[in-house]
């Protein structure tokens, strides 16, 4: 897996103060995407132990709420195995921290991925420029959903995160 950046003290990509891993690779190519440099799966840097430790160092801080996986698309096929392993490791080492994941896939396309039990919130769906709305919390276009993964799995229906603007 390749990545472009690790953002610290981020307040825009999930609830609370977060560390964000911006992975490389996306096949959606959404017109108006805010981060097209991340589309190339070979772009950026190799995700290695030093990058993982950088994330863990941030997560060890008591004021950091959790980690967010963004990009690119963390669920781009070439990323899934490593993102899944990293999510499980974060969940095991920092069970009090939340894990958010942004993807251009719809929940219905990815719900069966085995590592989603380690994810707390998924922001799903492609960015649609004609539905762009800068007033929405944690998402760029009105078609995207901020999904509470645990409640969704428990109920069998998509449950939105409680603090999401409609």
Burial class (CB in 10 A: 0-12, 13-18, 19+), 119: buried
Q: What residues contact residue 162 under an 8 Å CB cut-off, 6+ apart?
A: 148
Q: How far, in Å, CA of 55 to CA of 40, rounded?
A: 22
pLDDT at 166: 45
| Mean pLDDT, rounded, for 12-40 | 96
Q: How far, in Å, CA of 19 to CA of 73, rounded?
A: 16
Residue that wins the pLDDT comparison between 28 and 155: 28
Tokens of 125: 């769906």
Q: Which tens digit of pLDDT belongs to each residue from 61-78? A: 999 999 999 999 999 999
Output helix, strand, coil percentages for the chain, rounded to the nearest 5.
Answer: 30, 25, 50
Q: Which tens digit of pLDDT belongs to each residue from 81-126? A: 999 999 999 999 999 999 999 999 999 999 999 999 999 999 999 9
Q: Which tens digit of pLDDT belongs to each residue from 131-150? A: 999 999 999 999 999 999 99
In order of start, what are the domains of the chain with their CATH numbers? Answer: 2-155 (3.20.20.70)
């Amino acid at each position: 897996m390749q990545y472009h950046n690790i953002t610290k003290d981020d307040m825009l990509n999930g609830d609370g103060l977060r560390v964000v891993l911006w992975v490389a690779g996306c096949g959606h190519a959404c017109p108006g995407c805010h981060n097209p440099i991340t589309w190339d799966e070979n772009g950026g840097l190799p995700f290695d132990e030093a990058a993982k430790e950088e994330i863990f160092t941030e997560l060890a801080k008591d004021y950091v709420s959790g980690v967010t996986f963004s990009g690119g698309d963390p669920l781009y096929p070439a990323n899934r195995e490593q993102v899944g392993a990293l999510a499980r490791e974060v969940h095991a080492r920092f069970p009090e921290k939340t894990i958010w994941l942004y993807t251009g896939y719809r929940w219905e396309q990815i719900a069966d991925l085995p590592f989603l039990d380690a994810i707390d919130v998924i922001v799903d769906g492609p960015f649609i420029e004609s539905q762009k709305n800068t007033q929405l919390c944690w998402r760029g276009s009105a078609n995207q959903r901020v999904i509470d993964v645990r409640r969704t799995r428990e109920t069998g229906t998509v449950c939105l995160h409680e603090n999401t603007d409609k």
